[in-house]
Chains A and B, each alone.
Chain A
Amino acid sequence: MNIPSDLRYSRTDEWVRVEGDIATIGITDYAQSELGDIVYVELPEAGRVLQADEMFGTVESVKAVADLYSPVAGEVIETNPAVTERYELLNEDPYGEGWLIKVQLADPSEVESLLTAEQYAAYIEERQKA
């Protein structure tokens, strides 16, 4: 399971990469692997203001549908047009070309409250045992 150490994670299996006051958000390798072949993603319009833990979209695979939650608060400034052309990108490159949205952070320090890679790895392991 790929869990890059430079990212932060949510308990709902999203990752966050922070550059300045911009956060890029996507789903984790674990999430895409659990979902299997992804066939559809619904993303918000740019300009939408999200609260932390607010649902911002859904991702749908052959097997299941999962809601997407924003780990941080802020305004959506960009969505990834590539993933709605090639949904496979979410399976193939969830941390790279398969990113979902960019958010202008309301409070960049909020990211510190999210899980680190080690904590997220432990959280996955815990769930797999359950």
Chain B
Amino acid sequence: MATESGNLRRTPLADTHPRMGARMVEFAGWWMPVQYGGIIQEARAVRENVGMFDISHMGRFHLQGAEAIPALETLTTNDVSALTDGAAQYSLLTNPQGGVIDDIIVYRLSSEHLLVVVNAANADKDRRWIQQHLPPSVTLEDATAQTAMIAVQGPKAVELVSRLFAQNLAELPRFHVTSSRWSGHPVLVARTGYTGEDGVELIIDAPAAQLLWNALHEAGAVPCGLGARDMLRIEAGYPLYGHELNEHINPIEAGLGWVVSKSKEFIGADVIRRIREQGPARKLVGLEVEGRMVARQGYPVQVNGQTVGEITSGTFSPTLEKSIAMAFVNSEYARTGGEVQVDVRGKPVPARIVSRRFVSHV
């Protein structure tokens, strides 16, 4: 078993996880739980009931000031100005070449206050990038260390948290956020997630995180690790930075044209507009792989022995009981229903191109 080494960052729940039986690993510079009872068992809990994840490692930046919205508008692909108070959107930070710096969620807390949640692996890079482009009137406060973030996900998640918070969160629409209280502590409750299930993400001050985690556990939420989180997001067809996204991948080929505004200017907009008009050279597709071998990142995708693409993520889906994967495939072959082969360690395994939404209940 891995032992902690070096200067890893610890979430407010880092001591709680091993006490509850988690296996801990390094992830993006953080000491994180990868699994508790077992990845498949945890993923099933989320699909059928309710699971919870410590996602405190994700970066949380507060942008405040009268110019906060126009400032973020130039940095991100989605229409920030379309947000109303309490609404949220999935979006991208892009570079001048149209590549993806990170995928993010922007929450509008008020007309002068945005919360931006970013990937842990990119948090430092993102903070520097955003800071660099902010006018002096807009402040960026990094609240990552002072708060914890817990995702509660599954068909029973909203009901469970509603009961605990004595508040009907079913009334909170998807991709909306509200200020709430639990046990005297302020909590930001967002109806968002990364599992393909309904649920909420909770942000609470660090000192109260353990109490909330324990209360959720006692109420029936199954603790889940990063392993199950990855399996669930692949089943839902969600991209993960470093797999389906990086600075050399544009939003159009990654299938994220729907979060790229056609009506505003932002960094990289002209390049992305051109790609949209001409059509991308390759496309992100879903694959159903024959048999049970897992198609892992980097495995070649072939047609008649010729490489036409590459796997970005793959897993065994316990929900579908199938081997599933995502891959970038040259556009001429990226047709739904198309037959390809995945080169699994020298063995050509048949696969079929399908929708990336393998499992989605939201």
A interface residues (Cβ-Cβ under 8 A, vs B): 36-37, 39-40, 60, 62-63, 65, 87, 91, 128
Contact = CB atoms under 8 A, between A and B. Distances in A.
B39 A128 contact: no
A62 B293 contact: no
A3 to B, nearest CB: 15
Interface of B: 1, 3, 35, 38-41, 227, 231, 291-294, 296, 315-316, 323, 345
Contacts of A37: 38-41, 316
Nearest to A40: B292
10 contacts: A36-B38, A37-B39, A40-B291, A40-B293, A62-B231, A63-B39, A65-B293, A65-B294, A65-B345, A87-B292
Contact of B38 (A87, A91, A128): A91
A65 B292 CA distance: 12
Contacts of B35: 36
A128 B294 contact: no
Given A39-B294, A91-B38, A128-B1, 16 more contacts: A36-B35, A36-B38, A36-B39, A37-B38, A37-B39, A39-B316, A39-B323, A40-B291, A40-B292, A40-B293, A62-B231, A62-B315, A62-B316, A63-B39, A65-B345, A87-B292
B316 A40 contact: yes
Nearest to B291: A40
Nearest to B42: A37
A98 to B, nearest CB: 15
A68 to B, nearest CB: 14
A128 B292 contact: no
Nearest to A84: B292
A34 B227 CA distance: 13
Nearest to A39: B316
B39 A60 contact: no
Given A62-B231, A62-B315, A128-B3, A39 B292 contact: yes
B26 to A, nearest CB: 14
Nearest to A87: B292
A62 B291 contact: no
Contact of A62 (B1, B3, B39, B345): B39
Contacts of A62: 39-40, 227, 231, 294, 315-316
A100 to B, nearest CB: 16
Nearest to A63: B227
